[in-house]
Amino acid sequence: MTTTGTPGCATGARWTSSSRRWSSTFRCEEAVEVLTPDIVTEGTIGQVRLSSDGARLAFVIEGSADAGLYAGPVDGSNWIKLVGYPSFSAPEIAWSADGRMIAYRIVADPPGYHDQVGYVLSTERGEVNRFDGQAFAWARKGVVIYVLDGARMALLRYDLDRGTSRRLSDFHHHYDAQFPPRVVPSPDGTRIAFTSRNVLEDTTRLFIAERRGGEVDGRPLTWIPGADVHVFPFWSPKGVSLGIYMVHEALDTTGLVLVKRLEGDGQIVYRRQDRDVARSPAWSPDGASLVFPRREGWTRLSLVDESLTLLRDTAAGYARFDRQGSLWLEGTDRAELLD
């Protein structure tokens, strides 16, 4: 189903940030498009994701007999239940770059090192395969998926077309469902950023696995004090620089650091003595701004003049720029196009 416009935006208001460093403007936008799964269910619609070509939706239904992962055209003309069972629950789902497959993470019950990552063909019923993993991410090309596997203590690369797997780097992580690890490949696939937490050292570490010739070299980039920290690495459009968004539960602080060309300690571009929302930022395709969640809602940070603009008075969902450079907010029960 497609609708235009959304209520609840108090447009025209202006406010000033508590920090003297940034000027801020409230510009709560109405969505240009809102895509919601038009389906009758006694359950709850969970995560919703739009395919990269904008033609199909994937979504999760939880808490009913028809629980599972569904996909189909955005007009709702042919939803297919790809996989499911009454207890099915998937906090993360993602389309492959070519739209052929959809991967999802299933949390173990009780939670632990045996969380699993499964995948299906996006147009056919039935799970193709699954393997142990606490985090996953698709490569930007083909059907290659990167998985952080705590049981095998490794960052793994699965080529689903060839049916092969390769160990890229060691991965040592003390599991906590509230602070999952993250894995993010660069746009060109030559580097992979990933995180791990160490309770004994009370630190969270960020690593870079980089391909050098035919080998992959994993090295630590930095570490963050505290194990109870949400750490979200994200790449610049060309994959040269890395952003690190941190929400520290124990210290009640939020910070956003840019490490240009992966050199030095990085530049702090946003800092707040409060806990913002733990979601990954998105870097605009032109490299000029970042979109990230604050308590007030989704906010654009200009890297040119360091101004903050509140785009949407909700921080629910996940931000993503599509191939045309338009900004989508995808989350529970809907996907919204902002610009």
Q: What secondary structure does DSSP assign to 291-313, as a single string? A: EEEETTEEEEEETTT--EEEEES
In angstroms, what CA-CA distances link 51 with 101, 102, 325? 10, 9, 15
Looking at the structure, tell me whether residues 194 and 293 fall in a common domain: no
Q: Does residue 159 form part of some domain?
A: yes
Q: Which residues pair with 270 in a beta bridge?
A: 256
Q: What is the pLDDT along the chain (339 residues), one digit of tens a residue?
A: 444 344 344 333 233 333 434 445 555 556 778 899 989 899 999 999 999 999 999 999 999 999 999 999 999 889 999 999 999 999 999 999 999 999 999 987 766 567 899 999 999 999 999 999 999 999 998 899 999 999 899 999 999 999 999 999 999 999 888 899 999 999 999 999 999 999 999 999 999 999 877 678 789 999 999 999 999 999 999 999 999 999 999 899 999 999 999 998 899 999 999 999 999 999 999 999 999 999 999 999 999 999 999 998 888 889 999 988 999 999 888 999 987
Looking at the structure, tell me whether residues 109 and 192 fall in a common domain: yes
Cα–Cα distance, 259 to 265 (Å, whole number):
7
Number of domains within the chain: 2
Q: Does residue 29 form part of some domain?
A: no
Looking at the structure, tell me whether residues 217 and 281 fall in a common domain: no
How far is Cα of residue 254 from the mean position of the Cα atoms in its chain?
Answer: 18
Looking at the structure, tell me whether residues 249 and 219 fall in a common domain: no
Q: Does residue 32 form part of some domain?
A: no
Contact (CB, 8 A) for 141 and 189: yes
The size of the chain, in residues, is: 339
CATH, residue 129: 2.130.10.120
Looking at the structure, tell me whether residues 298 and 202 fall in a common domain: no
Q: Does residue 61 form part of some domain?
A: yes
Looking at the structure, tell me whether residues 137 and 260 fall in a common domain: no
Q: Does residue 14 form part of some domain?
A: no
Q: Tokens 């808490």 label which residue? A: 63
Q: Does residue 6 form part of some domain?
A: no
Q: How many CA atoms lie within 13 A of 180 on its CB side?
A: 25
Q: Does residue 206 form part of some domain?
A: yes
Looking at the structure, tell me whether residues 250 and 178 fall in a common domain: no
Q: Write out the residue range of the structural domain in which residue 135 sits.
A: 37-227
Looking at the structure, tell me whether residues 89 and 221 fall in a common domain: yes
Contact (CB, 8 A) for 59 and 37: yes
**Sign of the dihedral defined by the CA atoms of residues 190, 117, 332, 41, in that order:** positive
304's tokens: 């040119």
70's tokens: 């569904």
Q: Does residue 154 form part of some domain?
A: yes
Query: pTM for the whole thing?
Result: 0.90
